[in-house]
Amino acid sequence: MTDSSPPGRLDGDVAIVTGSTRGIGASVAKRLAAEGASVVVSGRTVPEGEATAEDIQTNGGEATFVRADMRDPAAIERLVETAAETYGTITTIINNAAVQTETTAAEATLDDWAFVLETDFRGYWLTVKHAIEHMPDGGSIVNVSSNHAFLTMPGTFPYNAVKAGINGMTRAFAVELGPLGIRANTINPGWVEVARTRAELEATDRERIESIHPLGRIGTPEDVAGVVAFLASDDAAFVTGASLRVDGGRTAVMEDQPFRDHSSRFEG
């Protein structure tokens, strides 16, 4: 994919991107840096986090890596304080760190519940809670959720419940922080080709998965990063409290087979 980053759109911004050692988060960090933001890369894996920050620096951007486990409230507070001390302010929070269990509501244990909610939900709140005092001139929060917030499937609990909750958290942030000049929005990606989903695709029928998307393909991390950069920028200055699906139209499809039959009329 050709890099279409508008140069300088995020000049002067300071962004914390959680879960940015790889996958979607790493692409978001690189995109924000390419548009001029100073980026704090964060995650649990030191070699990958440092590699992401070094890649940004090699390409002329500004970045630093701070190790943080989003299940650890003290680590989240240190992450925010380090970002503010390093760059003097914070303008942008990208809450992206997430984990998932392949469990049903009946199978999930208290440990599964804590694992997902503490990382994917409580971690989002605490990052924003600690960052607010360092955002005196306003800014932007982008919470990465999933299209599971709207439509879901068995065996993804409590991940799917949390993703719906993130949309609600975003609305709460929007109405409470709007008077401070802080916008809050959610993006809801669908199938995106990262290491985890690539393994799933290899075990299924990739062609079939792509065919049930109106755009005829699954997403890339760069697809998501472009939307995040838009919401973080002044181009979205009047957008807050929104939940934007970034799923190639997947959740617009009611039934797969009728859609595939319709799509086949345009082939050849």
Q: What is the pLDDT of residue 180?
A: 98
Total domain count, the chain: 1
In a domain, 23, yes or no: yes
Residues 190 and 207: their CA atoms lie apart, in Å, by 16
In a domain, 5, yes or no: no
159 is catalytic: yes
Q: What pTM was estimated for this model as a whole?
A: 0.91
In a domain, 208, yes or no: yes
pLDDT tens across 178-209, in order? 999 999 999 999 989 877 777 777 766 788 88
In a domain, 28, yes or no: yes
In a domain, 201, yes or no: yes
| Domain interval for residue 111 | 14-264
Beta strand 139-144 pairing with 182-189: parallel
Is residue 17 within 8 A of residue 83, CB to CB? The reply is no
Distinct helix (H) and strand (E) counts, the chain:
10, 7
Q: What are phi and psi of 233, to 5 degrees?
A: -95, 170
In a domain, 93, yes or no: yes
Q: Which of 150, 157, 159, 230 is catalytic?
A: 159
In a domain, 2, yes or no: no
pLDDT at 76 over 50: yes
Residues 97 and 23: their CA atoms lie apart, in Å, by 10
Write the CATH number for 125: 3.40.50.720
Is residue 202 within 8 A of residue 224, CB to CB? The reply is no
In a domain, 6, yes or no: no
